[in-house]
Every structure is written in structure tokens, then in C-alpha cells.
A and B are shown apart, each in its own frame.
Chain A
């Protein structure tokens, strides 16, 4: 990877990136609200489920497919990945937060750099031809920036974990050191999730976290909530 690509990957992985990931908890808020997660160990165990059972089984497969298609200048391939991920994500809130943050990343990237492929993808999203899921946008953006697929997957895992830990910090009042320790300890899990997603076709997406789906359904109807998911 070029220095330019490495720096771009740092920028995209930064929680400073204004795409709204600080407003999503992907069900974590409901786990905390119903005492399913009460401490840092339970949090780490749940994050492992998010990474291994959901992200590695679906999101990262879509990211890779979008990355490969972008490199081949194949917009249809990107849309396939986007639509397949949408069809495979059962919980309505998880789809909403994915397309909400996806749209923000797409808008942001088009502000900071010009690329005709990105424009064509954005047109398809605007025209409701494709949902514009966050990881798919990330796959396109990283491919265009010369970030390798594996790095892009690791970046996505890091981003997911930091977003969740950021949410947990507010919900569970965790200390900064605890948060960093969990992030550090999750590294083998992130690598394993990336391995899980390798060599899998879009038809082989099998995310499986039914309790997350149920809590996400509860969260949709929760009266008081800080997060959109």
C-alpha cells in the first residue's frame, strides 16, 4: 500500500470521521437497558458476537465484494453486494443505521475527492436502485483509495469496535483504560472475523445473532433512547 493509501485508511478508521457512528449502538443500548450487558467482560463477549457472528458472516463479505467490483470498475457488482447485504439484514434498525451512516460517508467522500465511479454509485443510491449500506460504501471508498481489501476489512472491524465501545462508554460509564483494554484484547477476534469472511461468496452470507435481532426489535419501540439503533 502507498503512504497515501495508508493515511487515507487512518482517516477512515478514525472515530473523528463525521459519519454518525456515534449515534448508533446496533442493539447495545437495549442490552444495557435490560441488564444483558452490565460490565466490561460482558461487553467484550457481546462485541465478539458482533464481530464473529454478524460482521465476519455478512458485512465483511459485502465489503470484500464491493471492493473487488470497484477495482474492476463493475458498478453492478457493487450493487449486488449492497442489495444482498440488505436482504440478509433482518432487523430493520440495523438496516436503517447502516444506510444512514453509509449515506453520510458517501456524501463526505464526494466532498473531499472527485471520482466518477463514486458519483455513479451515489446516483444509484439517490435513485433508490441500491440501499447504500455503510460497509459497501466503505468497500468502494477504500478500493478507490488503494487500500487493500484485507486492510479495509480490518479497518471496518476496528471501526465497528470503536463505535460500540464509544456507545458503551456512555451507557456503562466505562473508564478510558477499560475501553482501550477491550479494544486491544479484541484484536485476535477482529483478525478471525476477517478470516471468516475470506473466500465466501455473497450467497454464503449467514449472519446469525437471533438475540441481537430480538433486542433490536425491542429497541425499535423503546420509549427513551440515546441511539438510533
Chain B
């Protein structure tokens, strides 16, 4: 599919951190920490420097359309630990292109400063995901940060739906994601956070997690959201926060071109159905006994975003798989509404 990846030859294999062909935005790693992380920022990291090679992962992807209207990856730069092995043509959209980002390192460690930039040129249809969950490792010093900037051009579409983020005990993680959309652009951005290695009984043992989301168009802030969990300071399972649930997922369906009340209802119908299925199973098991709570229950809903930015879908569940599944169904429906084709089949991922 990628016939005119002109830049790729020069930079595609550049994983060793040489920054010769890179616009210098390295200053970001030196930037002022978010106030919630300021107290960690002065702690030095034993054995390595904050943002040093291997700890300053950078990923830059740019998609454009060729003369036939097909989307191609026209530039990619991946500095360790990021790695891009190539593109996959399995998107149900005939002009679409898919990139899976690999990260061979064990996970996000203290002092890591990662930067991801994805640019989708006019009329391109791109899908960027990760091959496996992002594990945020235990930390005793400093913190880890990822800065993600997505931009989507006129009549273009981006799906940025990475695998879940898993927060190990004592993790401190700040992620800031900004998506800038042309007025005629659309995007789907997904996020699932798992508060520990649930299978081994670890939950809410991390120190701090702050994930900030912003959608902008023409310089205006359309919608902002934040997931801020600091279990030592305030109970994540408080009523109205996560309640009886453990895993939180949000899908932002961004379509600033018009009012999306109908799309909101459509997505709500899809995700609320799943909740009913869970509730029915509950009844089969003899009711809402806490001990026998159905682990497959997902409670989810869709609501129109402010400033006609699109729709947000929130899903709360007990397991990463069920929340991811619910968001995938919403993604599928949203893509059908926006592009006329569904989301890529998760079994092929």
C-alpha cells in the first residue's frame, strides 16, 4: 500500500536516538512538570538521567494520500523504545492505513519522557494502535510522562486507540494528549486504564495517574477531560467516581463539523445494551450479591461533547477485556456513522 513513502528510507530505521533528521522539540522533556507531579520532579533517577537515551522515546508518524487517494505512511521516526515495523492493510476502509507501534522495553519506567506525534494529512484515513498494553512500572524516584500530539487535516480521519495502560504498584504517570482537528476532520481517540495487575490481586496500589485530554480546532479548546487518580489521597472507589468498578475506559468521538445529538443516542444505545446483558446475567446468578457480582458487567453511556465537538463514551467495568470490548463496539458504530465502514476487527489485531 505504501508506494511513496519517500521519507521512510531516510528515517524509518532510525531507532538509535540520532536526532539528525528531527525537528528539535527536545525542550519538551525539560518542560515544567504538571503541578500534581512537581514534588517528584526534583528526585533524580539512579543509574540514568531523566529523559536520557532510551528514556526519551519519540515517535513521529505522518500520513498522506497518494494520487489514487490511498493513505500512506509518508514519514515515520521511532526512537527507542518505540519501534514501527511497518504498515498493515487490514482496515475495512478501502483507503485506510494502519500502523501498530511496538515497544520492546519492559514498560514505562521512572524518568521516562516520551513524545508521540501523529499527523494525518488532508483526506487521509489512518489508524494507530499499540501491539500490547502499556505497562507503567513501579517507581521510587521521579515520575514518567508521555506527551501525545495528534493532528488531523481537512476531510481526514484518525483512529488512535491504543491497548490499555496498566499501572503497577507505586507507578507515577502523567499523560497529556492533545488532538487538533480541521473543522471537517474526524477522529476517534480511546483510552483504557487498568489500576494494577488485577490477576495477581494488585489494584489501586499505584501512586498517581493523571491523563489529560484536549480536543482543539482553529486554536479553540472544544473539549477537555482528565482522569486523575491518586489512591493515597482520595478513594478511587468513592460513589460517583469508580464506585464498585475497577477499569475505566473513555472513547472520544470527535466530529466538530456539526451537532451530534443523534450520534450520541446511537452510541449510547450500543453501549447501554451491553449493560443490560450484564444486568440480565446478574439476575441469573441470583441478584446483586456482592460476593457473586458478575465480573462481566460494564456500565457505560454516551453524551454529546461540549462545543459540538462530538461524543464521549465512558465505560466502567471489572476487567480490561470487557471495557475494551464495549469501547470497540462504540468505535465500530462511530466509524460506521462517520466513514461508512466499521472498526478494524480486534481478532486480527
Contacts and interface: CB of A to CB of B under 8 A. Distances in A.
A53 B227 CA distance: 11
A214 B221 contact: no
A221 B223 contact: no
Contacts of A42: 239
Interface stretch (A14-22, A81-89, A101-109, A112-120): A81-89
Contacts of B302: 217
Contact of B265 (A211, A218, A221): A221
A211 B224 contact: no
A37 B238 contact: no
B260 to A, nearest CB: 10
A95 B303 CA distance: 11
Interface in B287-321: 288, 299-307, 312, 314-316
B238 A49 contact: yes
Classify chain A's interface size: 35 or more
Interface in B204-221: 210, 212, 221
Contact of A206 (B210, B241, B315): B210
A48 B227 CA distance: 18
Interface in A180-229: 204-218, 220-221
Nearest to B305: A90
Given A49-B240, A83-B221, A89-B306, A217 B226 contact: no
Contact of A92 (B221, B245, B304): B304
A216 B301 contact: yes
A93 interface: yes
Interface string B225-257: 111110000100011111101001010000000
B305 A45 contact: no
B201 interface: no
B210 A214 contact: no
Nearest to A83: B221
A90 B245 contact: no
B239 A205 contact: no
A209 B241 contact: yes
Contacts of A88: 223-225, 306
Contact of A87 (B224, B229, B264, B312): B224
A87 B239 contact: no
Nearest to B223: A87
B268 interface: yes
B104 interface: no
Contacts of B226: 205-208
A100 B315 CA distance: 28
Given A42-B239, A45-B239, A221-B268, A208 B227 contact: yes
Given A90-B303, A90-B306, A49 B314 contact: no
A45 B242 CA distance: 13
A49 B239 CA distance: 7
Contact of B301 (A50, A95, A207, A215): A215
Contacts of B250: 210
B154 interface: no
B301 A209 contact: no
A217 B314 contact: yes
Given A91-B303, A216-B301, 12 more contacts: A27-B240, A31-B239, A31-B240, A87-B223, A90-B305, A95-B306, A204-B35, A208-B226, A208-B241, A210-B248, A218-B272, A221-B272
27 contacts: A31-B239, A42-B239, A49-B241, A53-B241, A83-B221, A84-B221, A84-B224, A86-B307, A87-B221, A88-B224, A90-B312, A90-B314, A92-B264, A92-B303, A92-B304, A93-B303, A204-B35, A208-B228, A208-B241, A210-B316, A211-B243, A213-B303, A214-B300, A216-B301, A217-B302, A217-B303, A220-B268
Interface of A: 27, 31, 35-37, 42, 45-46, 48-50, 52-53, 57, 83-84, 86-93, 95, 204-218, 220-221
Q: Which 9 A-B pairs have the closest CB atoms?
A: A217-B301, A206-B226, A49-B240, A214-B301, A212-B240, A92-B304, A217-B303, A46-B239, A206-B228
